[in-house]
Structure 1
Amino acid sequence: MADQEQRRKIVVVGGGITGLTTAYYLQKQIREQCLPIDVLLIEASLRLGGKIQTYRKNNVIMERGPESFFDREGHIHQLAKELKIDSQLTANKLGPTYVAVGSQLYPIPERLMAGDAPHVSSFITSGLFSISGKIRASGDFVISRTKEKIDQPVGPFFRRRFGAEIVENLVEPLLASVYAGDVEQLSLQSTFPQLYHLEQQHRSLLLGMRKEQSSIFYGSPSKNEDEGIFETFTNGLETLVEAMEHALLPQTVMKGIKVERIETTTTKTAVVLSHTAPVMADQVVVATPFYVTEQLLAAYHIKPLQQMTAATMATVNMIFHKDQALDWNALAFFVSRNSDFAITSCTWSNLKWPLTANKEQVLLRIYIGRVGDETIVELSDKEIEETVLQDLKKTTDITGRPQQTVITRWKKGMPQYTVGHQQRVAEIKQILQKECPSIHVAGSSFEGISIPECIAQGKQVAQQLLMKE
């Protein structure tokens, strides 16, 4: 009885990739160290993995949420090796990539999407920029370092170095496909801190990237000439979720249970559930979207949580027969705001990831919705399909209607790291440390939206909690 009373309990609220990773590493380290600690993962929906949702049917693999990851620090590779699924990792194939400006498609400078530092010659010969735009972009070689020591928006930073045309025709379209955000509001410190450091160290971003062999957006280039720097699993991203869930003790996962609120008492933290008794915990990790976290912790009136925002967007997966798209050999195109398109990007998934469809099929993955253009997501499925088809037929030889369309809406699905984001996150953690030190927050709303960044957060918070115990 005495041993039972000495056991501690850690509750993880939210079974997305961050919460799932937290629970996985907690259980792993508790087991390895024989610690008297119990872990409970609580998820409101009937499945784990959050936005990672792989649709598998008739040998077709569609991703409803994120489709891949760039594992800069190796977090997923390490985790996949632990889970014995590393042999299923596969890199994307390369191919021509375009940006839609007006009603025309222009090729993106060669090898940029492979993670290479941009070659000056590729900018000079690119039809994506006017002569005056190219001359202005060359100003990066002589423009001085920014004197700003505080956070600044991404748009003005790039505009100062390369001019407005580079921002409108390249930077904004690429970032819209990643953050669904507004470059006039996105935080440089929270999205591309490496670029600020490159500028401070080398003055010129282009020279700095050449010296350090990194690209504007992605870091080190791929070592394989025909493969890119993005990866997934051969049977879809949900392979990772399934392997982690399988590694958890089944009695330590509660699905379909909604947490109403979280409150601290004199000795414990109460996780109040719907339709069942509260769970008393010694430590609680809240790994939910910021707007859910704010509701769960409403008793503490955490203002920085109320100041956060998110964009609404959707993924549209379409299957066509190969005869409906005869002469298309591009991998993807992104869409400038200065265009006649409603979509924000389109990828030929069957070319980028050959295992996602058979040779008789063309699988397209389209993004719609971004900050300032979110109403399209509210249209009916039929209206969205028709809008997407109209856009595709402006620039491709797609004919007829798709054999299947799968639309997935993500309301408030993309956290916006606007200027001051890191300061807000620091304030949230300070408030929690002062008011309720047994409660911790993590997830894509806070310190990285990518899958590797979420996994890194989950692993880090697990280590920190066990140090406290």
Structure 2
Amino acid sequence: MKTVAIVGGGITGITALYELHRLATKNKEAIHIILIEKNEYLGGKIHSEHEGSFIMETGADSIVARHEAVLPLVKALGLEDELVYNETGISYIYTHNQLHPIPKDAVFGIPMSVESLQASTLISEAGKKAALKDLTTPNTTFTKESAIGDFLTYFLGEELVQKQIAPVLSGVYSGDLHELSIASTLPYLIDYKNKYGSIIKGFEANKAQFAKTADKKFISFKHGLDTIARRIESLVPEAVIKKSTTVQHIANCEGKYTLHTSDGELLADELILALPNAQIAKLLPVPALQTSFKKFTTASVITMYVGFDIPDASLPADGTGYIVSHHADVVCNAATWTSRKWKHTSQNGNLLVRLFYKNTNERYDELQQMTEDELAQIGLQDIQQSLHIDAQPQIVRVTKWTNQMPRYDLAHREALQQLEQQMAVYYPHVHLAGCSYYGVGIGACIANGQQTAKHVFKQLFEIEQ
């Protein structure tokens, strides 16, 4: 019987585990599957903590519903009855110590119509006039490998990008827009520009596509996002799952791989490494690979939940949170009004706020050195200043993700192609997977886990799926 070892029990690894199990069952093939995870739980950055009447997500708080890989997996896992969708409401940008609504007909702050542009309270009349250049200026130089910041600024103007688009888009993709490619962020923007002659007109022509999921863009589960990890684990009883276990060394042994772990040794025919890039680099010490691994970059973030014994209705406005722009007196980069956006996270309807402090923050190095109590004081000051709430919290929960957020800069695609070629030479039958390489969203990780599993299954049995 062939053995497949999966190292890493995040969403990519457990999706690969589930897909391999499904393929083996469907094709009546026997595979010995072993999954190794350093934590005492599966899910990686997907982990839900329950305390009092609150549910808090230490990493991702939701999944983008419209990704083609997401809802089919939810259905296959029998989790449809557990689904919850985000509450709709206004998203704000906090600037000059005021909440400004992001116009309704906007995607990542990019207006989908001239009317949406004109409705913005963030942009001056001169800035709106500059953005209209997009309607008449053709694209003659930009490709999907161009920086998205350069592209958007050229056609929509610096003011619209800096005040309305960059705060949203930089937050989603954890980086400077002038260092992120169009291909790794919103590749369809080039198609819109080239086909319709305008980014705005392209969105307007495809408005129905975005409207379908405008109200229900994100999903979670009644008992927390990590429900998906717990369900997958329950559906693969034949697999060997080693939690609280680390891999210390990988050796090529006559076409197979010996894994030296904290729980002993094991031998695998195929190996899937669904780990952060830095951890994979430590396990594969070939000098040529190390040069490639260093080309992948990361970002960091500190997140903080603050829960109160006051009603959610104490919030000063209807909405689901804000993103901080320049010229604001708060320290945080963003805030989600979690109890408003996700009703299931607060059983009693009390206020639960989540704050984000990113490594682009000018005070990040200072924040990184702070204790949880010191960070809590910063968070409470931000909440008091922006939301005018000065109540004492019931709970504060801080999580630091240091160099754990992949950044897809302009060199990412070329670096990945080079690494894939090198892996085929130095480590055949070892498969790289996960958000460091193949997409940062949970939907992308699910699709990557499934694709990796299908590729491995084909190599084992020469069966196309």
Question: TM-score normalised to the size of structure 1?
Answer: 0.92
Helix, strand or coil at the partner of 2:223: coil
Residues 97, 327 of structure 2: 8 Å contact kept: no
Assess, with a 3 A threshold, how the Cα gap between structure 1 residues 334 and 257 changes in structure 2: closer, same or farther. Answer: same
391-400 vs 438-447, which deviates more? 391-400
- 1:283 aligns with 270
Moved more, 432-441 or 95-104: 95-104
Task: Give the 3 Å change call, closer, same or farther, for CA 115–36 of structure 1 in structure 2.
Answer: farther
Q: Which residue of 1 aligns with 2:323?
A: 334
Bigger shift: 399-408 or 353-362?
353-362
Contact persistence 2:7–2:37 (CA under 8 A) = yes
> SS state of the match for residue 172, structure 1?
helix
Matched with 1:346 is 335
Q: 1:341, 1:446 → 2: CA distance?
A: 34
The answer to whether the aligner puts 1:308 opposite 2:307 as a matched pair is: no
Partner of residue 372, structure 2: 381
Deviation string 1:232-275 (CA, Å, 9 cap, x unpaired) is 11221111111011112265111111111223232312222235
Aligned to 2:309: 321
2:289 equivalent to 1:295: no
3-state SS of paired residue (1:445): helix
1:4 corresponds in structure 2 to none
* Residue in structure 2 matched with residue 221 of structure 1 by the alignment: 211
Q: Is 1:67 paired with 2:54? A: no
Tell me, yes or no, if the aligned pair for 1:12 and 1:285 is still in contact at 8 Å. yes
Report if the CA contact (8 A) 2:33-2:240 is conserved.
yes
Are the counterparts in 2 of residues 315 and 366 from structure 1 also a CA contact under 8 Å?
A: yes
Q: What's the C-alpha RMSD, in Å, of the aligned pairs?
A: 2.1
C-alpha separation in 2, matches of 1:323 and 1:89: 24
- Indicate the SS of the match to 2:64: coil
Match for residue 252 of structure 2? 264
Question: Tell me, which stretches of 5 or more residues in structure 1 are unaligned?
Answer: 1-6
Distance 1:360 1:25 in 2: 38
Shift of 1:140: 0.9
Which moved further from structure 2: 327-336 or 365-374? Answer: 365-374
CA pair 189-97 structure 1, distance change in 2 beyond 3 A = same
List per-residue Cα deviations over 1:286-325 (Å, max 9, x = no partner): 0000000111111353122111111110211111233593
- Give the Cα separation in 2 of the matches to 1:409 and 1:88: 29
SS in 1 for 2:177: coil
Query: Equivalent of 1:467, from 454, 458, 462?
Result: 458
User: Per-residue displacement from partner, 1:43-93 (whole Å, max 9, x unpaired)?
Assistant: 122111000011123332111111111132331211111111112212211
Alignment match, 2:463: none
Any idea what the Cα deviations from partners look like across 1:175-213, whole Å, max 9, x if unmatched? 233223222212221111111222222220000111122
Structure 1 residues 346 and 372: CA distance shift in structure 2, 3 A: closer
Instruction: State which of 9, 27, 50 in structure 2 corresponds to 1:56.
Output: 50
In structure 2, do the counterparts of structure 1 residues 118 and 359 end up closer, same or farther at CA, with 3 Å as the change threshold? farther
Label 1:149 to 1:122 Cα distance change in 2 as closer, same or farther (>3 A).
closer
Whole-Å separation in 2 of the counterparts to 1:337 and 1:285: 43
Cα distance in 2 for residues equivalent to 1:447 and 1:274 = 28
Is the contact made by 1:263 and 1:297 (CA closer than 8 Å) also made in structure 2? no
Q: CA contact under 8 A between 2:4 and 2:31: conserved in structure 1?
A: yes
8 A Cα contact 1:179 1:414, kept in partner? no
Please give the alpha-carbon distance, in whole angstroms, between the structure 1 residues aligned to 2:315 and 2:161: 33
Q: Tell me, in whole angstroms, the C-alpha distance in 2 between the residues paired with 1:400 and 1:21.
A: 42
**2:205 counterpart residue number:** 211
Give the drift of 1:118.
2.4
| Mapped partners of 1:418, 1:161: distance in 2 | 21
**Match of 2:437, SS?**
coil
**Pair 1:240 & 2:234 matched:** no
Q: Residue 129 of structure 2 is aligned with which of 129, 135, 148?
A: 135
* Aligned mate of 2:168, from 162, 167, 174: 174
- Alignment match, 1:273: 261
State the Cα distance separating 1:396 from its structure 2 match.
Answer: 1.4
What residue number does 1:399 align with? 390
The answer to whether residue 40 in structure 2 is matched with residue 40 in structure 1 is: no
Q: Number of residues paired by the alignment?
A: 456
* Corresponding position of 1:3: none
Secondary structure of 1:298 counterpart? coil
Counterparts of 1:353 and 1:404, CA distance in 2: 18
Partners of 2:108 and 2:186 in 1: CA distance: 18
Q: Which residue of 1 aligns with 2:151?
A: 157
With 190-199 and 447-456 compared, the bigger mean Cα shift is at: 190-199
| 1:84-125 deviation per Cα after TM superposition (whole angstroms, max 9, x unaligned) | 111221221111221012322211112436999623223213
Distance 2:107 2:321 in 1: 10
Other-structure match for 1:191: 185
* Percent identity for Structure 1 against Structure 2: 28
TM-score by length of 2: 0.93
Pair 326,166 (structure 1): closer, same or farther in 2 beyond 3 Å: closer
Q: 1:434 aligns with which of 414, 425, 435?
A: 425
CA drift of 1:431 comes to 0.8
Aligned residue among 426, 432, 457 for 2:448 = 457
Cα distance in 1 for residues equivalent to 2:360 and 2:47: 23
1:448 aligns to what?
439
Q: Distance in 1 between matches of 2:182 and 2:451?
A: 23
> For 2:267 and 2:119, how far apart are their aligned partners in 1?
64
Aligned counterpart, 1:89: 83
Amino acid corresponding to residue 109 of structure 1 in structure 2: P
SS at match of 2:303: strand
Paired residue secondary structure (1:62): strand
Post-superposition CA distance 1:426-458 (Å, at most 9, x none): 111111112222111010111111111100000
CA distance in 2, matches of 1:337, 1:33: 56
**Alpha-carbon distance in 2 for matches of 1:112, 1:268:** 51
Amino acid across the alignment from 1:355: H
